[in-house]
Amino acid sequence: MPVLPFARGVSLRSPWWRRLPLLALLLLVPAVAAAQTYPQSTLIPKGDFADLVDGVFWTTMWWGLLVFVLVEGALLFVIFRYRGRPDDPEPEQVHGNTMAEILWTAIPAVILAMIAVPTVRAIFKTYEQPTGDILKVEVVGHQWWWEFRYPELGLTTANELHVPRGKAVSLKMTTTDVLHSWWSPQFAAKRDVFPNRSTTLWFSARETGNWSGQCAEFCGIQHGRMGFRVIVDEPAEYDRFIGTLRASAAPPVRADSTGLQVTKLGAQAPGVAPDPLLAEGEKLFTNKGCIGCHSLNAAKPVGIGPNLAGIGSRTYLAAGWLENTDANLARWIREPQAVKEGVLMPNLGVTEPEAKALVAYLRSHK
């Protein structure tokens, strides 16, 4: 009895092949569930680019299914209809059949053409950049996070790309270090990003929501945690988000004793005495060196670490890895190397009370 490697140690009273239907069923269950449950499924397109990809998938799928049913059906028919019996005479021996050869060449050629034509057409379409009323976004991959710039607005954000529903978005993408690949399954396909070169992608989203995306090119030990979110807003909500980024660039900005520019202290009304916890957080943000890599001003990106304008209202931290709760933010600040080993952000020896103040300060930026 053959023992499959994966079944070693499992009692196999019946031959392994009798379990195949069960195995197929087990594989089918997650495949069906994936369509609705799994956040990064390509099977639930929510935009025009993804529809093109989905169309190619289903075209190939249906032709493949048709071939499978016809070929397997013919095979089963022949096996049962012409099966050998003990006293059968020697069957008639045939050598060559021109008609059969023409048919088995022509039919697959036609089927391949039926798949190839829409596929090639879709590939060309995915490289056509949209024109007219479009939103331009520059995407920059970093180990291991994503920078999103709105060049027409002079604003930068990180890891959460807000776009208005229904508007064509044109992405121009590059990276500052190694190869990455930008993949937003519901809206667009994967496209690699390269240093010193730019690649493009486009999509327009037809459904609002917060959708997960992922780096899809191995780029180091935290490749798996190089996620991002595409947040599709109603136009008014999108304008409100852009307003938040704009506000991060607005005064009051003052210089502290070190001469460094210190961004505004949260969103406090002028004339109101600053909350001591926020003031402490603001001081720590400078003194602990956070300010060396992270800007809280969307109009003045530092580019070493993610821009933190609007961090208080982001949904995730650490490039889509942790939900943006106070506890997670404190943990991420205190021990980044334990949360995402190998990231540029070092453990700075931030104490628990210090983390609390920093969290309060960052949370006020929304």
Binding positions for ligand CUA, rule: CB under 6 A: 141, 144, 180, 215, 217-219, 223, 226
Closer to ligand CUA by CB, 281 or 336: give it: 336
Closer to ligand CUA by CB, 144 or 211: give it: 144
Cβ at position 222, least distance to ligand CUA in Å: 8
Q: Is 250 exposed, middle or buried (0-12, 13-18, 19+ CB in 10 A)?
A: exposed
Determine the residue type at 127.
Answer: Y
Report whether 351 contacts 288 (CB < 8 A): no
C-alpha–C-alpha distance, residues 14 and 7, integer Å: 12
Cβ at position 213, least distance to ligand CUA in Å: 11
Closer to ligand CUA by CB, 226 or 230: give it: 226
C-alpha–C-alpha distance, residues 278 and 281, integer Å: 5
Closer to ligand CUA by CB, 122 or 219: give it: 219
**Which whole-number Å values give the CA distances from 269 to 41, 60, 146, in the listed order?**
44, 59, 32
SS3 205: strand
Closer to ligand CUA by CB, 137 or 249: give it: 137
Cβ at position 217, least distance to ligand CUA in Å: 5
Cβ at position 154, least distance to ligand CUA in Å: 26
Cβ at position 226, least distance to ligand CUA in Å: 4
Determine the residue type at 203.
Answer: F
321 closest CA partner among 181, 179, 212, 219: 212
SS3 313: helix
Closer to ligand CUA by CB, 180 or 264: give it: 180
| Bridge partners (DSSP) listed for residue 199 | 173
Report whether 294 contacts 305 (CB < 8 A): yes
Q: Which residue has the tokens 């092949």?
A: 17
Cβ at position 316, least distance to ligand CUA in Å: 16
**Which whole-number Å values give the CA distances from 227 to 87, 146, 312, in the listed order?**
67, 8, 19
Closer to ligand CUA by CB, 190 or 356: give it: 190
Cβ at position 178, least distance to ligand CUA in Å: 7
Closer to ligand CUA by CB, 217 or 354: give it: 217
C-alpha–C-alpha distance, residues 214 and 190, integer Å: 9
DSSP string, 320-365: TTEE--HHHHHHHHH-HHHHSTT-SSPP----HHHHHHHHHHHHT-
Closer to ligand CUA by CB, 141 or 281: give it: 141
Cβ at position 163, least distance to ligand CUA in Å: 21
Cβ at position 181, least distance to ligand CUA in Å: 7
CA dihedral (291, 292, 294, 295) positive or negative: positive
